[in-house]
Structure 1
């Protein structure tokens, strides 16, 4: 058996895997709740307009001033600040001045100068100060030290007067504080100057006393400011040390010469003595001659002469003679050096002993000099401090005499020509934005709290049954509008889905139920019967709603004779079934309303009736009361083959619909599916796919069927449920 076009058997598993809300879902909420949004927008806009009209008109006056902060006033302190520190100090200064402008002291001056208590008709000064504080605004122009002081009041001239007076009061308060700080600073400097002068005098006296007691002679570039202290002992110690150094140098040189002659003999000793540069006449006279003879001997031997050659022997005789003289001279020099070294060492020892005694005396004098130097340095330090403090005091007084005012006015306040508050366009724009936001919030809140059925997915997710048809909103009774109405297509889809979803051809009895009254169940049943009859089905409608029957009104007939008469009497079936003007469509009214409707329906005769009409008609449609209100509908669900639940779009909560399903299944009924009724397809775009026949049928005016005018029916009935007489044009 085929599934309906709306039903996907895998949909229940797919729903749990679907992603969250999309942009289209939010737009759908706006379309569905646009009345709430528009109402909220209108109410807030009206409220904003009313408040704007009721607000007092206020004028604004602005005085522009320039402030001078510490980062622009110079001085030793600010010269050491970095650019970042100067910027930070400037921001702090501006922020502090904002607080000062609205301080109690400044505002109190303005209130008294302008007599605001009387002008504003207030009772005391504190009220005027509080009102003035609320009327004042201050703003710093970005990147500058320029400040704007704004004052608002209902009187334009008074606003300008207050702004200028506020500047004057603030400037006077700032001047008073600056003068007080300067006076305190100058007084402190004078006291420090006097104290430092006394310290300088005390240090000078101490230095003079030390000079007399220690007998120190202070010489140099100035008596009290020399860089060094030089005493006679200094010069003596220096001369003695220089003499000791000279003796040590002489001894060292002689020892070096003597050591150079040690361990040598003959010609080598003579050469070494000559190389050391020893001052001896014999060596200086004969060594060059001796050296020349050595060269001649070597040249003679190299020329091939033998050792016994007369020339060689003559040279060697001269060499021996000179060698003897030179060796004797070297020996004499060596002895002389030893004697001189001994004498010099003796003199050095005596000189060192003498110098040690002088050093001891010098150390004692140096200590006295160091003590004096301490007093002198202390005096110099105190005098330098006095000089610096004197200069600082002098500079401070000069700056105070020529100091600029830390605040100056650039533009004075003038009376405004137009009020600045209330800003009517801005208030209305803000009211519109707020109203729109409020309306959207309410709309989404209502949508979130709304647990009714909104989509086909809701039905299939919570009831696990297919949606057999989607019925558009405001659909009338089809047989009154004509067969070509575009609304009929929805019921044709419903007829097709029922045909393909029933178990067998014998399962031809259907009842329609709903959770509550007013969901369109009876109208849906009548229209379904109409399209089934048009399709060639012999269709019977049974009005099983024995509480509030309405089907007889759709056919302009009476319900005085019908189902209840058949069930409670032996009346033949043919007398309670009426033929309608529609071909193949028959109708059984409800009959007289009984006291125990459920008991009558839950009878053997009712079961026999259902079986009888099933064999006579192709399709039997039974109307029923709401299933959650009474038990009649449950009885009918157990008697017929299939049950269709009619759900009005966005009406009943989902848990109520789940109870409807349980009520059907608890009596053994077969729930065929759901009809989603009264859907506004123009606002709920998700249903336009399922109701596209609207576009198809409405594509051309010439294709749309116009309702036919029906002739006047001759219907008469007795009030007490007597005989019904119908005209021949109806039956």
Structure 2
């Protein structure tokens, strides 16, 4: 489904919702009125309440004592996100409100128990934080304005007293704990002093005020220990270098060995100076050969001998160099062994010295830390004792409560607006609920979906009898559409006998038949109307014709057809009344003479329309449906349930009848906007109505009447 289709479906649903509201606007208005009136009555009978408020500033508690806190005196006040919520609960707590009940004697004043008075007071007290400030508003609603003022003031004062008591108790407890902590800390400092003195005497350490470690002869011993460690590291590095050089001399081949040996910076290393000469002589020999001299040329031979001699000298130099390095390695190992002995001795001395130093440092650090903490705690104790004598007001009342001049409850405007809104919502909800429960036919889609037959026409509401009106009125166009759809929906042109049925009485079946007959007659069709409703005939009343002789007389006597068919004031329109009503209408209609009558009038007239009683009420309509060629069902809009409509079709088909289609009658096109497309001819006809002349008098000549004179002569 593409986006445009989805948008169209959404628009369709919105139109359907609006249609339901338009159709049920009476229910919506009635519900709105009832809820609004209920809200008005409730608002009127509700007791009036007056509100009084007090604005107070609550500061966070700053007078707290923590023996281990490094800050002395009052700390900076801190305000947590839960601060105001906590204070709200304190204001409405039992400890705070019970003071109010006791001071104002509310239990006797209200005539209830103290516990009940406390509960009532808690319900009428409200607290909230004023946005953007650190202020708290305390409000009290009561039916007596003076009581509201007194209770508000007493709530603020009681909360102030209760919070001051809590802070005083907390401060006293903190001072007491701080004094005990000072005594414990003094004992701990004295114990640290004894431990430090013992270590100083035992280890021969001189105590000083700083953190340096000192003892007799300590500096000289440290220097010797450091020298031993450095010497050992130097000798060990030299040994590792000699081992690496000897290993390289053993691993390289002849040519690589010479290259490596020439790079060693050692004394008496002849290879370092001889090897570059060897390479230069070798390049000269290669140059002589490149110039074309042979191997036996005197210059080549002479240089080759010198090169061989230099090679021997280089090899001998490598051997000597290796021997010299091995000798140096043995000497380095001996020195390393001696240095390792010195290192172990220095290490042992260092470990012993570090242990002594660590014990001394730990004891000194503990003593100095505890002594500093003791001094700090003593200073804080002095500050706390001074602070205890200073009164700090953490609650300030900025707005004292006053007597309210007008009530705040009930809020008439708000209640009425809410009543209107709720009434509207309930009304709309009831409207949609009724629409959900309503199973009547509401749209063309309902008819075509459940009956699987086309809708031949949509007849607007309050359409009168057309032959008594102007033939060019917009109402006539609906029946012209019906005539056209009947013409195109009947498969056989010879099927010109149509019975008009409905599910129940009062659906406009007879009016639809008369108007359709009139339109067909206007269109040049010789049309016969047969009033076969032998229970409650009505067709004769549309033309002011006597109903004493008609169909029943023809079926029960030997009267001729010409004796019971009457000419109406409308050209090409003929009428057969019902006649005297019989006792057994179904038996008369279900006769051979009735079948012969239908076949005879089909030959004489272009169109035969048979009016019948409601098909669900009596069996007459089923008989007529079986006799006629086609059956047209008239359904009043929003009246017949869908399942009853299905039964109407089944009743026709069960007797062998054929349903040509459905006429949706009495549609309120003003409220049902979905039908405006089917009745747009009203707009088309409206501008020309003022130009339409009076209806043509009956009996005047017309082209249709002259054209059909031959058919009339066949009838008479």
Note whether the superposition's TM-score is higher than 0.5.
yes
Residue 29 of structure 1 is matched in structure 2 by 20
Deviation at 1:73, TM superposition (A): 9.5
- Contact 1:543-1:589 at 8 Å conserved across structures: yes
1:538 aligns with 2:522: no
1:49 aligns with 2:37: no
Return the match for 1:144 from 125, 133, 138.
Answer: 133
C-alpha distance in 2, partners of 1:16/1:218?
96
Runs of 4+ in 1 over 6 A off after TM superposition: 15-18, 71-79, 238-245, 355-370, 704-710
Return the match for 1:617 from 602, 605, 624.
Answer: 605
Return the match for 1:98 from 88, 91, 99.
Answer: 88
Deviation at 1:226, TM superposition (A): 4.8
Return the match for 2:679 from 691, 694, 697.
Answer: 691
- Contact 1:45-1:428 at 8 Å conserved across structures: yes
- Contact 2:499-2:611 at 8 Å conserved across structures: yes
Return the match for 2:211 from 217, 222, 227.
Answer: 227
- Contact 1:697-1:704 at 8 Å conserved across structures: no
Matches within 5 A, 1:65-464: 65-69=56-60, 89-119=79-109, 121-208=110-197, 214=202, 216=204, 218-220=206-208, 225-228=209-212, 230-234=214-218, 237=221, 375-402=363-390, 404-464=392-452
Matches within 5 A, 1:539-688: 539-688=527-676
C-alpha distance in 2, partners of 1:699/1:24?
28
- Contact 2:49-2:143 at 8 Å conserved across structures: yes
C-alpha distance in 2, partners of 1:560/1:593?
9
C-alpha distance in 2, partners of 1:16/1:673?
31
TM-score for both structures, normalised by structure 2: 0.72
- Contact 2:61-2:167 at 8 Å conserved across structures: no
Deviation at 1:200, TM superposition (A): 2.0
Deviation at 1:172, TM superposition (A): 1.2
- The worse-fitting range, judged by mean Cα deviation, of 229-238 and 108-117 is 229-238
- Contact 1:485-1:705 at 8 Å conserved across structures: no
What secondary structure, in the 3-state scheme, does the structure 2 residue paired with 1:570 have? coil
Structure (1 or 2) with the larger CA radius of gyration: 1
- Contact 2:602-2:608 at 8 Å conserved across structures: yes
- Contact 2:200-2:207 at 8 Å conserved across structures: no
Gaps of 5+ in 1: 1-14, 80-84, 249-261, 264-348, 711-731
Deviation at 1:473, TM superposition (A): 0.5
C-alpha distance in 1, partners of 2:164/2:7?
76
The count of corresponding residues between Structure 1 and Structure 2 is 583
C-alpha distance in 1, partners of 2:639/2:692?
31
C-alpha distance in 2, partners of 1:239/1:562?
151
- Contact 1:697-1:703 at 8 Å conserved across structures: no
Matches within 5 A, 1:696-715: 696-699=684-687, 702-703=690-691
- Contact 1:66-1:410 at 8 Å conserved across structures: yes
Deviation at 1:92, TM superposition (A): 0.5
- Contact 1:71-1:90 at 8 Å conserved across structures: no
What secondary structure, in the 3-state scheme, does the structure 1 residue paired with 2:82 have? helix
C-alpha distance in 2, partners of 1:635/1:244?
136
Residue 725 of structure 1 is matched in structure 2 by none
Residue 299 of structure 2 is matched in structure 1 by none
C-alpha distance in 2, partners of 1:107/1:465?
79
- Contact 2:65-2:175 at 8 Å conserved across structures: no
Gaps of 5+ in 2: 233-266, 269-337, 699-716
Q: Residues 109, 557 of structure 1: CA spacing in aligned structure 2 closer, same or farther, 3 A cutoff?
A: farther
Deviation digits for residues 367-389 of structure 1 (CA, Å, limit 9, x no counterpart) = 77876665544433332231222
What secondary structure, in the 3-state scheme, does the structure 2 residue paired with 1:63 have? strand
What secondary structure, in the 3-state scheme, does the structure 2 residue paired with 1:196 have? helix
- The worse-fitting range, judged by mean Cα deviation, of 24-33 and 69-78 is 69-78
C-alpha distance in 2, partners of 1:358/1:90?
60
Pairwise CA RMSD: 4.1
Q: Residues 605, 86 of structure 1: CA spacing in aligned structure 2 closer, same or farther, 3 A cutoff?
A: farther
C-alpha distance in 2, partners of 1:428/1:242?
98
TM-score for both structures, normalised by structure 1: 0.71
- Contact 1:216-1:372 at 8 Å conserved across structures: no
Q: Residues 185, 480 of structure 1: CA spacing in aligned structure 2 closer, same or farther, 3 A cutoff?
A: same
Deviation digits for residues 629-668 of structure 1 (CA, Å, limit 9, x no counterpart) = 3332222112112111111112223333233223323332
Q: Residues 196, 563 of structure 1: CA spacing in aligned structure 2 closer, same or farther, 3 A cutoff?
A: same
- Contact 2:630-2:658 at 8 Å conserved across structures: yes
Deviation at 1:683, TM superposition (A): 1.2
- The worse-fitting range, judged by mean Cα deviation, of 55-64 and 198-207 is 198-207
Deviation digits for residues 429-465 of structure 1 (CA, Å, limit 9, x no counterpart) = 2222222222222223333333322222332333332
What secondary structure, in the 3-state scheme, does the structure 1 residue paired with 2:376 have? helix
- The worse-fitting range, judged by mean Cα deviation, of 124-133 and 409-418 is 124-133
Deviation digits for residues 376-427 of structure 1 (CA, Å, limit 9, x no counterpart) = 4443333223122223323333444436333221111112222222221222
C-alpha distance in 1, partners of 2:480/2:63?
90
Deviation at 1:524, TM superposition (A): 0.8
C-alpha distance in 2, partners of 1:697/1:111?
83
Q: Residues 364, 23 of structure 1: CA spacing in aligned structure 2 closer, same or farther, 3 A cutoff?
A: closer
